[in-house]
Structure 1
Amino acid sequence: MTIYFYQVDQPYGVFSNFSPHPITLDGYRWPTVEHYYQAQKFVGTRDAALVAKIRELPHPMLAAQTGRNPRYQRRPDWEQVKCNVMLKAVQCKFFSHPELAQMLLQTGTAALVENSPIDTYWGCGPNGTGCNHLGQILMQVRQELASCPAHPLLNH
């Protein structure tokens, strides 16, 4: 079985990085995983002031637009660290929101696919052959939750 997700207002929309589930990482509260992820592109660059600006933006789409703006300087190691940045944020989201952890665990062994019509890196892209890195990360976090005996959801 495969579970597809993409829009926040659709089934399994909480798996989206745009879902309104705050995380606390690096000493700051971030409104969404998307805010955190986009801000990390500028850590240690001449555009480092964007980190705080992105954190304060009212919507994750604005964070994404800012983070994708080519006029800003990304950190030179971004391509090497971006999957680890995403993993850290997704772990934080699901380990700090028990209701989301429960929902993720309830997917069992189903494949999780970000059904993005445009993103072939994080999602499956327009023809379904994308890398689906976000889905892969979610399945990894699901496994971590399932194998964590100290997790409150697993103490029946």
Structure 2
Amino acid sequence: MASCFGAKPESEEDEIQDLPDDRDKYEYFWKARSPFSQWHPSKFVVDGKTYNCAEQYMMYHKALVMKNDELAEVIMALDNPQEIKDVGRSIPDIDAELWNHKSFEVVEAGNMAKFSQNEDLKQKLLHTYPRTLVEASPHDTIWGIGLGQRDKRAWNKMSWRGQNRLGEILTRVRDKLMGSFLEPANPDEIENPDEPINQSEEENPVESTNRSKTKDSDGPVDQNEIAKQDKSVVNGSEKENPDETVVNGSENKTVVNGHDEDNPDEPAVYQRKTEIPDEPVNRFEKANPDEPGNRSKTENPNESGNRYDKENPVESINGSETENMKKETIV
């Protein structure tokens, strides 16, 4: 018989079956055997005090928040996690609202010290990434989920009975410890990261480096070094323009036939660069009537002949004829 008040509401079990199974997203733990438990033996030091487990750190600071120094010292003298927890619960005049606010900070600081000072525990915590840690305690609905790991309701957070405070804090501690491995490089170590890149230097960084070195040099400039900066020079000629005049040593020469890149053993042929005067001048005419002989002859009187005699034997005068001309003039 159908109910006149509408359809029968679905049972809690039916609602659970409709939820997805998210067990692969969680890292379940419980009891002291787990390294993530507050009761797990682990020595660490904070402000000169040595703690034997995270539960001792938590209850000691709980007593300090409630300004009960006497019970705080009792807690520090105990080794058994269960006894430590019992003393912490026996603190009189508990300000629940104050402890509810402070407890997150206290538990996170204690676990940060625990896992950062114990490398083996730290590695186990880091290996839980990226899953969320879950305290599957069937009895604790504040720090745990109030359900055991095998309970289907524990497989999706929408059906948890507890807040899982400890699991959320441990997940945050893990992510903070992992942050040291994921931090980007220090921008101060990068030289001028915002400075635009010179396009010419980007295309040929070796060329720009040679150019900058020659520009900044305070000493004498090597002619060969200059030739290497912008273009490769083969025996005084540039690869791109073999007919272009290149400074080589102290003479200015025009390359007629430079070295071929495919045949580097072929010698280059040069021709002396001469200036063409506006009017033809007899090369043996005296530039100064008071100056005897040809200028080239005066500069080196002992030199026999002229290096251009072979080019024009008619106009050339050898050294002996010049001596006879001088004698006739004296007579």
Q: TM-score surpassing 0.5?
A: yes
In the alignment, the residues of structure 2 paired with residue 48 and residue 129 of structure 1 have an alpha-carbon distance, to the nearest angstrom, of: 35
Is the CA contact 1:42–1:51 (under 8 Å) kept in the aligned structure 2?
yes
Q: Matches of residues 1-156 of structure 1 in structure 2 within 5 Å?
A: 1=24, 2-9=26-33, 13-43=34-64, 45=66, 47-69=68-90, 72-74=92-94, 77-126=98-147, 128-149=160-181
The structure-2 alpha-carbon separation of the partners of 1:46 and 1:96, relative to structure 1 and needing over 3 Å to count, comes to: closer
Report the CA distance between 1:22 and its aligned residue.
1.5
In the alignment, the residues of structure 2 paired with residue 46 and residue 142 of structure 1 have an alpha-carbon distance, to the nearest angstrom, of: 31
For the residue of structure 2 that corresponds to 1:43, the secondary structure is: helix
In the alignment, the residues of structure 2 paired with residue 83 and residue 148 of structure 1 have an alpha-carbon distance, to the nearest angstrom, of: 22
In the alignment, the residues of structure 1 paired with residue 92 and residue 108 of structure 2 have an alpha-carbon distance, to the nearest angstrom, of: 24
Encode CA deviations 1:41-88: one digit per residue, 9 max, x unaligned.
11164532111110111201101011012x523467322111100000
In the alignment, the residues of structure 2 paired with residue 44 and residue 33 of structure 1 have an alpha-carbon distance, to the nearest angstrom, of: 17
The structure-2 alpha-carbon separation of the partners of 1:75 and 1:24, relative to structure 1 and needing over 3 Å to count, comes to: farther
Report the CA distance between 1:106 and its aligned residue.
0.7
The structure-2 alpha-carbon separation of the partners of 1:44 and 1:8, relative to structure 1 and needing over 3 Å to count, comes to: closer
For the residue of structure 1 that corresponds to 2:181, the secondary structure is: coil
Is the CA contact 2:65–2:99 (under 8 Å) kept in the aligned structure 1?
no
Q: Which stretches of structure 1, 4 residues or more, deviate above 6 A after TM superposition?
A: none
Q: CA RMSD in A?
A: 1.9
Is the CA contact 1:122–1:135 (under 8 Å) kept in the aligned structure 2?
yes
Give the counterpart letter for 1:130 in structure 2. G
The structure-2 alpha-carbon separation of the partners of 1:73 and 1:27, relative to structure 1 and needing over 3 Å to count, comes to: farther
In the alignment, the residues of structure 1 paired with residue 39 and residue 66 of structure 2 have an alpha-carbon distance, to the nearest angstrom, of: 25
Report the CA distance between 1:27 and its aligned residue.
2.4
Report the CA distance between 1:149 and its aligned residue.
3.4
Q: Give the gaps of 5 or more residues in structure 2.
A: 1-23, 148-152, 154-159, 183-331
Give the counterpart letter for 1:52 in structure 2. E
Structure with larger RCO (C-alpha < 8 A, sep 6+) = 1
Give the counterpart letter for 1:96 in structure 2. Q
In the alignment, the residues of structure 1 paired with residue 70 and residue 175 of structure 2 have an alpha-carbon distance, to the nearest angstrom, of: 36
Structure 1 or 2, whichever has the larger Rg, is: 2
In the alignment, the residues of structure 1 paired with residue 67 and residue 45 of structure 2 have an alpha-carbon distance, to the nearest angstrom, of: 24
Q: Give the gaps of 5 or more residues in structure 1.
A: 151-156
In the alignment, the residues of structure 2 paired with residue 26 and residue 73 of structure 1 have an alpha-carbon distance, to the nearest angstrom, of: 27
Q: Once the two structures are aligned, what percentage of the paired residues are identical? A: 30
The structure-2 alpha-carbon separation of the partners of 1:84 and 1:129, relative to structure 1 and needing over 3 Å to count, comes to: same
Report the CA distance between 1:15 and its aligned residue.
0.2
